[in-house]
Structure 1
């Protein structure tokens, strides 16, 4: 398996490529986050980023992400131009030798947490999703009273208690935490702005979002096949409807639908063990086995779940998912690919998210993307993989 590390780019990331090189990773996962959604990525901009990474002794292994404009998800606006721009960016990436694109189809928000610095028992901090804080945000801050149907009664009671006791600073911190999953050129919302943005999705249900996703695949996957590119969708995080927005990449059935929508190796999966693992109904190892031939990229991290729907990022080998069994599935798939002479026999993975450890707290990196915490995760995963390879 190919070790990679996510990097947000010069001017956006406090971690340098030289720092990442010292972790032992040989590949970089990045995006042109400075370019607004829907605009074409030029060959010049792509080439400069690729050459910068190459000069640091690594390669640009996966694009994460070539983001989708919200109009594509909503099915509104001038989609002809947006799809044309998207295909042009794909062609420019392929021309510069970059052939794997991770993307998601989450409406409006990316990954969502309510606490960016939850304390960890042995020291350090982690990302956490607290069900009652999310309920407090939806019901008492956004005024989305229908959200009460989405939470059990004990969570609603705790949500009301938290809101009553909270200060304006507490509420501002909660809003900032919920918005933190969106890097680069995107709209950050205040409470009123988020209410208005949610209105643009009013009336859109799961079947509507699936139809819009199918159109995206119909527009993009044939071009990916022509260019020799691999697309790999990232699961929803958390894997459940949120803020009244439907989510359609949350479980095994969703993934089966996506894979069958275009039965092509170009239409693949980013196996994110943390995102899928936050749903207690998901068997992450079984999902990996079922879709192994279409996994083009892996985010390896772990979560620890609570009965009320809360969860937090655990250390990579200490959460609810058996990471040794999961790594074994990926290594077995690599062996099958090598036996069949597939060109994509080495599956890239990155240590996704990490605890803020030691000097991480003072670096000011993107939430969930510290240097030392991810390096610890990479080292642990590397040990598991090397041990399994030696058996």
Structure 2
């Protein structure tokens, strides 16, 4: 397991590279050019700038997260081919600085949905929270306004240029069924995977968050069965999955260790986080500790270990603790605690094997 840490860039993150450097075992930065509009080619000079920044601290930038897919591709519009060409050029530019994994998603309109960015937990910390009943009765524009109140930091997956045309996007997606979305995803993969293969890059799709339909929008990356279907669309070592325990784990029917066992060779990147799922379908982010949530993090890490996982992993979301002023879900302190918990499990497993020898 190779530990990495998500960072949103200089001037766009409350967490500094200097502080990340002090977290034991973190070797790389998960990054993106968040100011580049979705669908545009990422300029090489900007990529090289990030490379210079992270190399000063001894980090690699093997993993990129949020090379977002333009809605015209998801909608299957004639204009999608130009956006796919831009995506290919971005892959080529990223390959020039040694990128190995690109994390993306194929969710219509919203990359993730929460109803409260700072829901208070019993210990006084706050965390991202999803209230199922509220989503059912909520106008999506109301949710956008709520997210926009957090104007100090850009929120991944909530790009302003996309959200400005929200009504039009909803009208466009109202004509797209799940099967059509599958078809549009397959078209994208058939066009893009050969480019990824030629540069030895793995494209790793992120599951839908949460793993069910939101506001009537179709969602397809939601289950073990759908991951299996996805990987068969283009059967290539470059067509992979970013396995997020928190996203899939919001549905208790999803058996994360079983998914790891079947697809470990197609999981180059793991998001490992815990959530507490309530009987009514609500859920909230928790600490990584097994007993604090509904997801068996210990068993998940053990399964990765037992099946020889050598990919990249990050702690994903964290709570907001110790009065930290940070981007919702992406502070320093709780994610650092999460990393140490994951290393504790991993090192214990490693030590057990060595003692048996």
> Please, what TM-score do these two structures have when normalized by structure 2?
0.92
Does the 8 Å CA contact 2:110/2:158 hold for their aligned counterparts?
no
Which structure would you say has the larger Rg? Answer: 1
Report the Cα offset of residue 10 of structure 1.
1.1
1: CA distance, partners of 2:65 / 2:199: 18
Does the 8 Å CA contact 2:125/2:320 hold for their aligned counterparts?
yes
Report the Cα offset of residue 40 of structure 1.
1.0
Report the Cα offset of residue 123 of structure 1.
2.0
Query: Following superposition, which runs of at least 4 residues in structure 1 exceed 2 angstroms of deviation?
Result: 170-177, 179-190, 193-197, 332-335
1: CA distance, partners of 2:71 / 2:333: 34
2: CA distance, partners of 1:249 / 1:233: 9
2: CA distance, partners of 1:286 / 1:73: 29
2: CA distance, partners of 1:283 / 1:181: 29
Partner of 1:173: 146
Matched pairs, number: 347
1: CA distance, partners of 2:147 / 2:83: 33
Distance 1:62 1:200, change over 3 A: same
Does the 8 Å CA contact 1:36/1:186 hold for their aligned counterparts?
no
Instruction: Deviation per CA, 1:3-61: give whole Å up to 9, x if none.
Output: 11100111211211111111221110010111111111122211111121011221112
- Aligned partner of 1:390 among 348, 351, 357: 351
2: CA distance, partners of 1:299 / 1:240: 19
Does the 8 Å CA contact 1:33/1:183 hold for their aligned counterparts?
no
Does the 8 Å CA contact 1:239/1:247 hold for their aligned counterparts?
yes
Partner of 2:59: 58
Higher percent of residues as helix: 1
Does the 8 Å CA contact 1:112/1:181 hold for their aligned counterparts?
no
Partner of 1:326: 300
Q: Does 1:377 align with 2:338?
A: yes
Does the 8 Å CA contact 1:110/1:181 hold for their aligned counterparts?
no
- Aligned partner of 1:297 among 269, 277, 300: 269
Q: Does 1:348 align with 2:312?
A: yes
Q: Does 1:229 align with 2:201?
A: yes
Partner of 1:201: 173
Report the Cα offset of residue 79 of structure 1.
1.8
2: CA distance, partners of 1:183 / 1:10: 19
Partner of 2:355: none
Partner of 2:190: 218
Report the Cα offset of residue 334 of structure 1.
2.5
> Please, what TM-score do these two structures have when normalized by structure 1?
0.84
Does the 8 Å CA contact 1:293/1:333 hold for their aligned counterparts?
no
Distance 1:373 1:182, change over 3 A: same
Instruction: Deviation per CA, 1:160-217: give whole Å up to 9, x if none.
Output: xxxxxxxx9x99537758x985357543647xx5333211212211000000000011
Report the Cα offset of residue 388 of structure 1.
1.1
Distance 1:255 1:10, change over 3 A: same
Distance 1:84 1:43, change over 3 A: same
Does the 8 Å CA contact 1:127/1:368 hold for their aligned counterparts?
yes
Report the Cα offset of residue 369 of structure 1.
0.4
Q: Does 1:242 align with 2:243?
A: no
2: CA distance, partners of 1:180 / 1:280: 30
Q: Does 1:94 align with 2:92?
A: no
2: CA distance, partners of 1:250 / 1:128: 19
2: CA distance, partners of 1:189 / 1:98: 29
1: CA distance, partners of 2:233 / 2:160: 29
Does the 8 Å CA contact 2:112/2:157 hold for their aligned counterparts?
no
Q: Alpha carbon RMSD of aligned pairs, Å?
A: 2.1
Distance 1:356 1:188, change over 3 A: farther
Q: Does 1:283 align with 2:255?
A: yes
